[in-house]
């Protein structure tokens, strides 16, 4: 095993073999990093312009060069530092990475005029450790214009396709491998096997990155960092802060105090669940602040969505600040930052809080040091760690929920009465999705209460009540989303139950907009 320098942020990673994924500009780098971790090897993404000496400072056991949108001859092409290929570390180039290896080492890359996009038949030409146990001919996923037409000296061709004479190549001695296809996408059905062969057989890595080992390492790192100090954690009940709290609690027990600010804009039984789970089951020191009245008062008469958000953010800050000021000698703050947040922010450094951040907005002038036990993990890994730590499924598999809560799902003024109506309707939607077994297929599913009223008839009487919109979407990462094709039976059940059981709603409609151009939440 290699030794990794401490990041200083008490993250989950200790001494693991590391696979460096060099991001050459496509959207595939994150996916590759995830697939490597699914093979139980730790991976990190670095920028494409990285130099060989910097690569060495990461001390990787294997390197993967990602795909990229560019041609190696394009003006804005990211040139890899060819010295990376001479470090003696096994390298796998994928798509553009494959071409970049060929280009850097004296092979020939050409625009053949017939690019390959989508499912393509791959024919194995020569034995390769990467294709062990795979059929001589199988489908892979391609997406490229240029192709390697001649491999560099020292390489042999191991697979081809109709348009790519060099669809796979390798230099056995130097352990350099190139694949024109994308093994990381599900459309390459044998792709994960190819990746695993690279990791285990070509690079000699061991599958040691498991949930149990992540927890063990993380617990040790938090203990070493914190010592006897006291730690505070803003708990929202969402997946990330819940898993972070459970992990830190496992490490330091009583030294941790969680602060749960209930703004009264939560879903049915959400506050109770958080209190039962953390105060009861985990026996954590939990400060529960019921600030519902304060938030409602601050929101009185407000209809503008942005104003609502600002008011909620500010009120949260004030409440949290008051609690934090009462907790003396607390010098660390736990945050549920995930690896995608770290990648997107482009910064790998743990820092003292100087500006607002994603916990829900914390004061500028608080002088905490951050503990981010999840900063090396993807969402699916966080869920797996949460389950391993014994968090209930309702929390581990909770759908994303916006910080401003139900307030951005009530169009118009937020009142106690409207909150009660929406909470009851939302609970029915959740229940029906669960009964239909769809909760893991959907990204989010919820109700939106409109401020307008329409006429209806119930029993023998006229009603004049609010419409409820059903919003259910599928998504990978919330950047884009599609409306979920729920069956008529599920929709029918939701509609009749909401209208019959929730006083104040007499009409149900379905939101069939994707994102973009709509957003997932209505405000």
Cite the active site residues: 95, 182, 184
Burial tier of 460 (Cβ tally within 10 Å: 0-12, 13-18, 19+): exposed
Write down the least CB distance from residue 312 to ligand XMP, Å.
8
Closer residue to ligand XMP (CB): 57 or 519? 519
Question: How far, in Å, CA of 429 to CA of 494, rounded?
Answer: 6
Q: In terms of DSSP bridges, do strands 461-474 and 444-449 run parallel, antiparallel, or are they unpaired?
A: antiparallel
Question: Which long-range contacts link 252-256 to residues 24+ away (Cβ below 8 Å)?
Answer: 252/222, 252/223, 252/226, 254/285, 255/226, 255/228, 255/229, 255/230, 255/231, 256/230, 256/231, 256/232, 256/284, 256/285, 256/334
Choose the stretch contacting ligand XMP; rule: CB under 6 A; options: 221-229, 366-374, 462-470, 514-522: 514-522
Residue 364 CB, shortest distance to ligand XMP, in Å, is: 19
Minimum distance between the CB of residue 242 and ligand XMP, rounded to whole angstroms? Answer: 14
Query: Using CB under 6 A, which of the segments 186-194, 201-209, 249-257, 395-403 binds ligand XMP?
Result: 395-403
Q: Which is nearer to ligand XMP, 404 or 447 (CB)?
A: 404
Of 350, 263, 345, 358, which is closest to residue 311 (Cα–Cα)?
Answer: 263
Site for ligand XMP in 426-455 (CB under 6 A): 444
Q: Give dist(CA 43, CA 377) in Å, integer.
A: 10
Q: CB within 8 A of 102, min separation 6: which ones?
A: 108, 109, 148, 150, 151, 152, 155, 166, 169, 178
Distance CA 511, CA 514 (A): 9
3-state SS record for 122-190 = EEECCCCHHHCCCCCEEEEEEEEEEEEEECCCCCEEEEECCCCCCCEEEECCCCEEEECCCCCCCCCCC
Q: What are phi and psi of 63, to 5 degrees?
A: -130, 140
- Of 108 and 307, which CB lies nearer to ligand XMP in the complex structure? 307
DSSP string, 223-248: HHHHTT-EEEEE--SSHHHHHHHHHH
Binding span for ligand XMP by CB under 6 A among 177-185, 266-274, 397-405, 499-507: 397-405
Candidates 114, 325, 500, 519; binder of ligand XMP (CB under 6 A) is 519
- Complex with ligand XMP: residue 223 or 515, whichever CB lies closer: 515
**Nearest residue (CB) to ligand XMP, 123 versus 341:** 341
Identify which range of 176-184, 209-217, 483-491, 512-520 contacts ligand XMP by CB under 6 A.
Answer: 512-520
Least separation in angstroms between CB 486 and ligand XMP: 18
Smallest separation (angstroms) from ligand XMP to the CB of 238: 7
Q: Which stretch binds ligand XMP (CB under 6 A): 30-38, 155-163, 213-221, 401-409?
A: 401-409
For ligand XMP, give the closer residue by CB, 417 or 476.
476
Whole-number minimum distance, CB 400 to ligand XMP, in Å? 4
**307-310: long-range pairs with CB below 8 Å, 24+:** 308/404, 308/407, 308/408, 308/414, 308/523, 309/404, 309/408, 309/523
Only one of the segments 4-12, 205-213, 267-275, 398-406 lies at the binding site for ligand XMP (rule: CB under 6 A); that segment is: 398-406
Per the CB < 8 A criterion, the answer to whether 377 and 268 are in contact is no
Among 58, 150, 174, 515, binds ligand XMP (CB under 6 A): 515
State how far the Cα of 82 lies from the Cα of 22, in Å rounded to an integer: 13
Q: Which of the stretches 170-178, 325-333, 376-384, 515-523 binds ligand XMP when contact is defined by CB under 6 A?
A: 515-523
CA trace torsion 256, 259, 260, 263 (10° rounding): -170
Among 107, 404, 447, 467, contact with ligand XMP (rule: CB under 6 A): 404
402 binds ligand XMP (CB under 6 A): yes
* Smaller CB separation from ligand XMP, 82 or 400: 400
Question: Binding residues for ligand XMP, how many (CB under 6 A)?
Answer: 10
Q: Which of 400, 412, 456, 504 binds ligand XMP (CB under 6 A)?
A: 400
Q: Under the criterion CB under 6 A, does residue 520 sit at the interface with ligand XMP? A: yes
Q: How far is the CB of 507 from ligand XMP (least distance, A)?
A: 23
CB closer to ligand XMP out of 336 and 373: 336
Q: Write out 287-323 in H/E/C secondary structure.
A: EEEECHHHHHHHHCCCCCHHHHHHHHHHHHHHHHHHH
164 or 444: CB nearest ligand XMP: 444
**What's the min distance (Å) between Cβ of 448 and ligand XMP?**
11
Residue 403 in contact with ligand XMP, rule: CB under 6 A:
yes
* Calpha distance 32→397 (Å, rounded): 24
Minimal distance, residue 73 CB to ligand XMP, in Å: 38
Asked whether position 164 contacts ligand XMP by CB under 6 A, the answer is no
Q: In this structure, is the dihedral angle defined by the CA atoms of residues 209, 212, 218 and 220, taken in order, positive or negative?
A: negative
Site string for ligand XMP, 477-496 (x = CB under 6 A): -x------------------
Interacting residues toward ligand XMP by CB under 6 A = 400, 402-404, 444, 478, 515, 519-521
């Amino acid at each position: 095993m290699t030794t990794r320098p401490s990041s200083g942020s008490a993250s989950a990673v200790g001494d693991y073999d590391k696979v460096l994924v060099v991001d050459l500009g496509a959207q595939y780098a994150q996916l590759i990093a995830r697939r490597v971790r699914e093979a139980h090897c730790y991976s990190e993404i670095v920028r494409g312009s990285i130099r060989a000496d910097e690569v060495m400072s990461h001390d990787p056991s294997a390197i993967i060069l990602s795909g990229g949108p560019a041609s190696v001859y394009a003006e804005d092409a990211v040139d890899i530092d060819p010295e990376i290929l001479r470090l003696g570390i096994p390298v796998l180039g994928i798509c553009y990475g494959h071409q970049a290896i060929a280009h850097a080492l004296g092979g020939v890359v050409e625009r053949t005029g017939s690019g390959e996009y989508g499912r393509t038949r791959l024919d194995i030409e020569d034995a390769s450790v990467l294709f062990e146990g795979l059929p001589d001919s199988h489908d892979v996923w391609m997406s490229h214009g240029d192709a390697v037409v001649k491999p560099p000296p020292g390489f042999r061709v191991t697979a081809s396709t109709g348009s790519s004479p060099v669809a796979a190549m390798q230099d056995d001695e130097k352990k350099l491998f190139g694949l024109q296809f994308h093994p990381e996408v599900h459309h390459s059905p044998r792709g994960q096997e190819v990746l695993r062969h690279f990791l285990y057989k070509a690079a000699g890595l061991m599958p040691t990155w498991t949930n149990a080992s992540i927890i063990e390492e993380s617990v040790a790192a938090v203990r070493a960092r914190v010592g006897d100090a006291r730690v505070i954690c803003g708990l929202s009940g969402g997946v990330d802060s819940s898993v972070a709290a459970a992990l830190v609690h496992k490490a330091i027990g009583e030294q941790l105090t969680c602060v749960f600010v209930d703004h009264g804009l939560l879903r049915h039984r959400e506050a109770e669940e958080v209190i039962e789970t953390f105060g009861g089951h985990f026996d954590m020191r939990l400060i529960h602040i019921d600030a519902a009245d304060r938030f409602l008062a601050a929101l009185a008469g407000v209809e503008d969505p942005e104003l609502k958000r600002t008011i909620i953010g500010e009120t949260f800050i004030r409440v949290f600040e008051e609690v934090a000021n009462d907790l003396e000698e607390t010098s660390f703050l736990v945050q549920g930052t995930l690896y995608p947040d770290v990648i997107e922010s482009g910064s790998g450094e743990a820092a003292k809080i100087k500006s607002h951040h994603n916990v829900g907005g914390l004061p500028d002038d608080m002088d905490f040091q951050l503990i981010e036990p999840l900063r090396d993990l993807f969402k699916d890994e966080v869920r797996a760690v949460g389950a391993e730590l014994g968090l209930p499924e309702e929390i581990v598999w909770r759908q994303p929920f916006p910080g401003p809560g139900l307030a951005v799902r009530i169009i118009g003024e937020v009142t106690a009465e409207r909150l009660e109506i929406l909470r009851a309707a939302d609970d029915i939607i959740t229940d029906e999705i669960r009964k239909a077994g769809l909760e893991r297929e959907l990204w989010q599913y919820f109700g939106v209460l409109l401020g307008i009223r329409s006429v209806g008839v119930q029993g023998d009487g006229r009603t004049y009540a609010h419409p409820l919109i059903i919003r259910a979407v599928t998504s990978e990462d919330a950047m884009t989303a599609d409306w979920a094709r729920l069956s008529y039976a599920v929709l029918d059940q939701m509609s009749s139950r909401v209208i019959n059981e929730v006083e104040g709603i007499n009409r149900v409609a379905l939101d069939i907009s994707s994102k973009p151009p709509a957003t997932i939440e209505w405000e």
